[in-house]
Amino acid sequence: MLLFREKIPPDWLSKILANLPAVLIDHAHLERKAATTALNLEKYRDLYPRVAELNAIAIEELQHFQLVLDLLNRRGIPFGQPYPSPWISGLMKSVRRGQRRQVVDYLGCCSLIEGRSCEKFQILARELQPFDAELAAFYGSLVESEGNHYAAYILMARAIDPAETDRRLDFYLELDAHLMRQPNPLPMLH
C-alpha cells in the first residue's frame, strides 16, 4: 500500500457518520466517475495494450455504482447532485499536457484516489460495524477491489515509464498531503 504522508483529518469520520445519506450519494458519484475515468484512459496510445484490463475496471466500478444505487433505493434516499471534491480537483489540476506525461500523471492521480478509497473504506467497515452492520459489510466488500485498482494503475504507469512514475508519485504524495490539510466542511468521502 502507498505510504501516505498525511493522516486523514480527525474530523473526517464524525462528519461522515453524522451524514450517511449525503455520503452515500457522494459515494455513488465517485463510483460513476471511477467507471468513466477507466474508460477515458483507453484513449491513450500507451494504454491500448491494457484496454481489456481497463474495461474490467470500468465494469467493476459500474457494478459498485449500481450497488450504491441499490443501497440508496433500499434506504429511500433519492439519487442527487454530487459535491465537487477539492481534493480530487486539486490532484487532477496538476496533470501535465503531452500524451506520455499526461497518461503517467492520470494514472498516478487515479492510483492515489483508489488508494485513499481503499484506506477510507477499511475505516468505515470497522467504524460502522456497531450501528450499521449492512453498510459496514458493504464497505468491507469494496476494500479489496479498490486496493486492486490502486495497484493496477501504478503497474500500468510503471510499464510506460518507471522512473517518471516514481518521480510523479513522489510529487502526488506531497500534493495529497498538502490537500489533506485543507479544511473541507462537506460530508464527502474525498
DSSP class of residue 109? Answer: H
CA atoms within 13 A on the CB side of 132: 15
Least Å distance between CB 114 and Fe ion?
A: 5
Q: Residue 127 and residue 139: Cα distance in Å, rounded?
A: 10
Nearer to Fe ion, 68 or 128 (CB): 68
Count residues binding Fe ion (CB under 5 A).
Answer: 7
Is-contact 69 28, C-beta < 8 A?
yes
Nearer to Fe ion, 118 or 175 (CB): 118
Query: Could you give the 3-state DSSP secondary structure of residue 183?
Result: coil
Smallest distance from the beta carbon of 97 to Fe ion, in angstroms? Answer: 25
Left, alpha or beta for 76 (phi > 0: left; psi -120 to 50: alpha)? left
Q: How far apart are CA 190 and CA 187, in angstroms?
A: 9
For the bound state, the minimum distance from the C-beta of residue 138 to Fe ion, rounded and expressed in Å, comes to 12
By CB under 5 A, what part of segment 15-74 binds Fe ion?
31, 34, 61, 64
Considering the rule CB under 5 A, would residue 116 count as an interface residue with Fe ion? no
> What minimum distance in Å lies between the beta carbon of 63 and Fe ion?
8
Angular region, 88: left φ>0, alpha ψ -120 to 50, beta rest: alpha
Q: Select the span of 66-74, 111-119, 126-134, 164-172 touching Fe ion (CB under 5 A).
A: 111-119
Which of positions 130-169 make contact with Fe ion (CB under 5 A)?
Answer: 146, 149
Give the C-alpha separation, 7 to 20, whole Å. 22
Task: Report, in Å, the least distance between residue 163 CB and Fe ion.
Answer: 26
For residues 53 and 164, which CB has a smaller minimum distance to Fe ion in the complex? 53
Which stretches of the chain bind Fe ion, using CB under 5 A? Answer: 31, 34, 61, 64, 114, 146, 149
